[in-house]
Amino acid sequence: MNLKRVAIFLVAGLFIYLSLYTWNLRSGYLTRLSTYSGLDSVGMVLRPGRWLGLKGESFVDRYIELVGLKQQNDALEAKIKALRLENMTLRERAEATARVEKLLSFPEPPEWTREGARVVAHRVGPTAILETILVDRGKNSGAVEDTPVLCTEGVVGRIFRAGLTVSTVLLLTDPSSRIAVVGRNNRAEGVVYGMGSGENLVVKYVGFKSTLDPNEVLVTSGMDGVYPRGLPVARITAVKREEGTLFMDVQAEPLVDVAHLEEVLLLKRAAPQEDSRALWE
């Protein structure tokens, strides 16, 4: 019974297949349907891949563009840093030029000549044995011991030890420094003593009956044989008179900020000029 049903189904299926095959040969409908359905299936499979490909291509293009922008940005930043450094260098050079011009405009005392020098090292503070600076002038350029050193604000000190190309300058703030001074206004005489870094100067040997005013400027008197007359040294900060003493207790502050010096002037005694009449005798 089952075999008969199977046979019937097979015969019916074969009959339907032959009928459809014969019909398709005449009309071609099934062939066209399979062609279209196959293309649509292929399109459905390829369309997501094409979309992913386009997105991937767009992503790669954007990545390359971003990499190019990053490189351009890095190049611009490097250029900006170089320009900033160049601007700082030019500004520092302009400030140094202005300082040197101001320094060289300082009037030369009679019978003295001046020479500019650059500070190459500082030795200032409680750990220093001496309050000194090092300048780039030595015996080769005519610098010798006790050569006065100053800047546009006033006296810096004197050369303590001269080498061939560099010299050590003993600052006026050093405890072993002594400078003979006189009041610019009242002409009271005294001697300025250094007391160390950050400390006020002490003015000794100012007569009890002398007159000194607070803020009066002290200038070199030339009595010590080292400095020419009239160079500004310090400004009076305090004046005390005590009964029973011969001298006043006077304190002053330097006019020069020695910790920030970069350029200085060396004063040298001018060579005496021979009398032109002697050459003809």
Domain 114-269: give its CATH architecture: Beta Barrel (2.40)
Determine the Cα–Cα distance for residues 48 and 86; give it in Å rounded to an integer.
56
**What average pLDDT does range 61-79 have in this prediction?**
74
The amino acid at residue 170 is: L
**Res 236: pLDDT:** 95
What is the tens place of the pLDDT at every residue in 233-259? 999 999 988 777 888 999 999 999 888
Closest among 54, 13, 260, 45 to 151, alpha carbons compared: 260
Find residue 117's DSSP bridge partners: 264
**What average pLDDT does range 96-102 have in this prediction?**
56
Determine the Cα–Cα distance for residues 161 and 129; give it in Å rounded to an integer.
14
Instruction: Give the global pTM.
Output: 0.60
Determine the Cα–Cα distance for residues 24 and 32; give it in Å rounded to an integer.
10
- Percent pLDDT > 90 in the chain is 31
Residue 146, phi-psi category: left (phi > 0), alpha (psi -120 to 50), beta (remainder):
left
**What average pLDDT does range 152-176 have in this prediction?**
92
Domain ranges of the chain: 9-105, 114-269
Q: Which residue has the higher pLDDT, 270 or 252?
A: 252
Residue 278's pLDDT band (cuts 50, 70, 90): very low
* pLDDT at position 33 over 80: no
What is the tens place of the pLDDT at every residue in 117-145? 889 988 755 545 788 999 999 999 888 99
**What average pLDDT does range 33-60 have in this prediction?**
56
